[in-house]
Chain A
Amino acid sequence: MGRYITRRAGYCLLSLFLLSLTIFFFVRVTGDPAALLVEPGASAEDIAAIHHQFGLDRPLWVQYGLFMWTLFHGDLGQSFYYQTPVFDLYMSRLPNSLMLAAVAMIFSLIVGIPSGILASVRVGRFWDSAGKMFALLGLSLPSFWVGLVLILVFSVYLKWLPSSGAGTPLHLLMPAFALGWYFAAAHMRLTRSSMLDVLGSEYIKLARLKGLPEALVIAKHAFKNALIPVITLAGINLVIMVNVAVVVETVFAWPGIGRLLYEGITFRDFPVVQGVVLLGGAMIVLVNLLVDILYATIDPRIRLER
């Protein structure tokens, strides 16, 4: 198992390297990075100064070295708009994003898992088709539109919920629903297919042959096994939620990382945009590694195989 984890960690490092290379490369290939690094409306002298300050007049590989050097020191640059380090900004917004993602995740699991189980137990019948339709709708509705319609109904017409901002639990309801909607569909699909896999297995057949009540077969023998991939995906999705919440956070003015990214775009605050993308990518790469390790420790079969 030690070798397996070492190899995974190696891949992970390689991925991080490729990630930094991708971002570095794209910024430079698409034009003069100085144009992105200066504040809007800067003069030609300012641009020249930036060129020198960031070493943009030096060879590419030196530039990359400098880029990585600052990254290793946790320095993602300074936000033009807030005049504070990007890393600090990121960390100050992260709790809000995590809270939103956690509530959205709970919502998506509460909806996705039972409906997935229902669909798998009634495969090919009414509830299965209804679930399939629901999943397709979940995947076909842009989350920001769901958010806008929610505001229209619950804030503008019914006046039940605040339309934007943070502070009370009520503020969380609509953004969490809008964000969780898509993931509820994804979790339902996975629960269904995972349950179908398990229900077709020999040990479920044996459980039925033992004369166990069907409810016990589903609840004890199928559910626990079927849940493993769903929980794994949910773990990865939690991190993805933090990173794709940008539209939902924009719609509801939720002060999270997504909102920070949106501000970075609208204020042309390039260090913020680059920092959010870099940290988001790194977060996902690391979570994937964590999941691999967890799998290896939980599932004895992987432990033995590798």
Chain B
Amino acid sequence: MAGEPLLRLDKLSTHYIAGGGLRVVRAVDEVSLSVNAGETLGIVGESGSGKSTLALTIMRVLPMAAKIVGGHMWFEGEDLVQKTDAEMREIRGKRIAMVLQDPMASLNPLFSIGNQIAEPIRVHERVSRASAWERARGLLKAVRIPSPETRVKQFPHEMSGGMRQRIVGAIGMSCEPRLLIADEPTTSLDLTIQAQYLNLLRDLQREHGLALIFITHNLGIVAKMCDQLAVMYAGRLVEAGPVSRIFNAPEHPYTQALLNSIPRMGERDQRLTAIAGQPPDLSALPPGCAFAQRCPQAFHRCRSEAPPVLHPRPDHTLRCWLSVDAPAERPRVLAGAAAV
């Protein structure tokens, strides 16, 4: 892609700081990645790998204990990290929107659907109540909710789970954002509704040309939806690149393990390899690679030094010593390290 991407994160770090700075959880640690206009980026990782914190960091809606401690977020030429709270409020919901995990809990039970969809439109575009509600009806139709005329006046508890999720989607789309972040938007839905919802998102994306960031731990969804993939582990980005390349030739051992852990059609005998061990405590990370303890291919250097960020190809990011030191040289390195 030519030109500047829509969103480019540059060594972004967000830490949870507790106990007056005594306990620091590095939820997002020097993450750099980018999303182009109209493209879909999938971010995968185990729970606790920092994906959700990363999304909240982009939105700048962090819990009180979490702080952005470094890096930049370039969005349409502006650095979101430098924005004041008031400036950020004008971007949030308008130019970047986000859809949360739980559709049951993310709608306010005491306000009507129309009220909640019209709300961002009224705040950001300062239009009249009547026209905001008119747009709310249009949005309900766009997310394929039947008889929007009556639905706008109803309350969240009168809707099914799938409907509520589509309403949350409608709220996200209400001000026609340039970028939509979806944080595990389908985990609470059953499979058919999940598929419908994903199709809906893809259609909306095509119609409006918006960029999508898809946060998930479901690699099936990534395969179906995404152009680019970023793999996170323990707050760090370990591998990123086009989905097709990473699926066909994963280079980071964690990505490999992740891909091995999904069952494949037709390969009935293939063993499902769960990844042994536990992810590390983010407040006491080992000095080297965070994955070293669970990595089947780890060698001495992995445990002592954090791997550098590599770009084996222009669109491929990798953080692993294996690509620096070819396997054949490994014993030498080991011996050399021992000599030191």
Contact = CB atoms under 8 A, between A and B. Distances in A.
B168 A208 contact: no
Contacts of B67: none
Interface stretch (A26-34, A160-168, A198-206): A198-206
Q: How large is the interface on A (under 10, 10 to 19, 20 to 34, 35 or more residues)?
A: 20 to 34
Contact of A211 (B94, B107, B111): B94
B100 A202 contact: yes
Contact of B61 (A124, A209, A224, A301): A209
Contact of A209 (B64, B100, B110, B157): B100
A123 B334 CA distance: 52
Contacts of B124: 211
A210 B123 CA distance: 9
B97 A209 contact: yes
Contact of B92 (A124, A211, A221): A211
Given A202-B100, A225-B108, A212 B157 contact: no
Given A209-B97, A210-B123, A211-B123, A203 B89 contact: no
A207 interface: yes
Contacts of A221: 108, 111
Contacts of B102: 202
A300 interface: yes
Interface string A211-226: 1110010001100110
Contact of A203 (B106, B120, B155): B106
B44 interface: no
Interface residues of B, number: 29
A213 B89 contact: yes
A240 to B, nearest CB: 27
Contact of A212 (B100, B101, B120, B155): B120
Contacts of B92: 208-211
A209 B59 CA distance: 7
B108 A210 contact: no
A201 B119 contact: no
B94 A205 contact: no
Nearest to A125: B64
Interface string B69-85: 00000000000000000
A159 B52 CA distance: 63
A124 B61 CA distance: 19
Nearest to A216: B123
Given A211-B94, A211-B120, A212-B120, A206 B171 contact: yes
A210 B100 contact: no
Interface string B113-139: 000000110011000000000000000
Contacts of A209: 59, 61, 92-93, 97-98, 100
Contacts of B111: 220-221
A123 B89 CA distance: 22
A224 B108 CA distance: 10
B106 A210 contact: no
Contacts of B157: 300-301, 304
Given A202-B100, A301-B157, A207 B108 contact: yes
A201 B100 contact: no
A300 B110 CA distance: 10
A123 B61 CA distance: 17
Given A211-B120, A301-B157, A206 B91 contact: no
Nearest to A207: B108
B105 interface: yes
A202 B98 contact: no
A123 B59 CA distance: 22
A216 B115 CA distance: 14
Nearest to B174: A210
Contacts of B325: none
B146 interface: no
A205 B171 contact: no
B305 interface: no
B281 interface: no
B90 interface: yes
Interface in B21-69: 59, 61, 64
Contact of B168 (A201, A206, A225, A301): A206
Contacts of B89: 211-213
Given A206-B171, A225-B110, A211 B105 contact: no
B87 to A, nearest CB: 11
B3 to A, nearest CB: 27
Interface string A147-183: 0000000000000000000000000000000000000
A220 to B, nearest CB: 8
Contacts of A201: 105
B331 interface: no
B109 interface: yes
Q: Which of A206, A207, A300 has the most CB of B within 10 A?
A: A206
A202 B109 contact: no
B61 A210 contact: no
Given A206-B168, A304-B157, 4 more contacts: A211-B90, A211-B93, A212-B120, A221-B111
Nearest first, the 3 closest Cβ-Cβ pairs linking A and B are A211-B93, A211-B92, A202-B105
7 contacts: A124-B64, A203-B107, A206-B100, A209-B98, A210-B123, A211-B124, A213-B89
